[in-house]
């Protein structure tokens, strides 16, 4: 007889940036600004991510595309690499992600892709701290996820190799 397991997640939804806690709003504004720096000549889907570090510093990253499409890297992994490269021992507490789709309105939240979710899990395990996500377009609804691990149930991790 099998045992069924159901995984549910909770996240908070806000009607717009004005309803957010101040720190989340500040980080989201920086993510929105960062979309201007994206290198997205192929998709024209410009993603910006802003990471708040435990030392109070905010770093930004953007998607970096390539003519060889699979070579491209997402904004979330760019900013995590920047943070880890500059401050390898400082935990990342929160990441805001926004986007500017040149081909359609950017008014609904986007969520990290599967590879980025796996990467977020690694950094959470590394720093033993949950990473808060603030997700939104250039306007409109905002989703806040308090623990990135909620987005990656039944995941592969270092524990899987023990």
The footprint of Zn ion (CB under 5 A) covers: 74, 113, 116
Nearest to 110 by CA among 74, 83, 78: 74
CB contact at 8 A, 136 and 12: no
**In terms of CB distance, is 25 or 135 closer to Zn ion?**
135
**In terms of CB distance, is 74 or 121 closer to Zn ion?**
74
Cα separation of 32 and 97, whole Å? 8
Report angle CA 112, 83, 106 to the nearest 5 degrees.
35
**In terms of CB distance, is 25 or 101 closer to Zn ion?**
101
Q: C-beta of 42: minimal distance to Zn ion in Å? A: 15
**In this structure, are strands 92-101 and 132-136 parallel, antiparallel, or unpaired?**
parallel
Q: Is 76 designated active site?
A: yes
Could you give the C-alpha distances from 18 to 27, 29, 32, 141, in angstroms and in order? 13, 11, 14, 10
DSSP state of 140: S
Run of H or E residues at 110: none
**In terms of CB distance, is 116 or 136 closer to Zn ion?**
116
Catalytic residue among 54, 57, 65, 76: 76
Tokens of residue 48, six digits: 């910006």
Q: Which residues are catalytic?
A: 76
């Amino acid at each position: 007889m099998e045992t069924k397991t159901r995984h549910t997640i909770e996240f908070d939804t806000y009607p717009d940036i004005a309803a957010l806690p101040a720190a989340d709003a500040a980080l989201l504004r920086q993510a929105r600004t960062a979309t201007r720096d994206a290198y997205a000549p192929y998709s024209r889907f410009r993603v910006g991510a802003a990471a708040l570090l435990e030392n109070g510093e905010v770093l930004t990253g953007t998607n970096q595309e390539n003519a060889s499409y699979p070579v491209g890297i997402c904004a979330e992994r760019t900013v995590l690499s920047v943070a880890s490269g500059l401050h390898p021992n400082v935990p990342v507490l929160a990441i805001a992600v926004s986007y500017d789709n040149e081909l359609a309105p950017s008014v609904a939240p986007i969520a990290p892709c599967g590879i980025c979710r796996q990467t977020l899990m690694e950094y959470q395990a590394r720093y033993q701290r949950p990473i808060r996500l603030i997700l939104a377009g250039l306007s409109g609804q905002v989703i806040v996820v308090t623990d990135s691990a909620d987005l990656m149930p039944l995941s592969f991790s270092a524990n899987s190799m023990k």
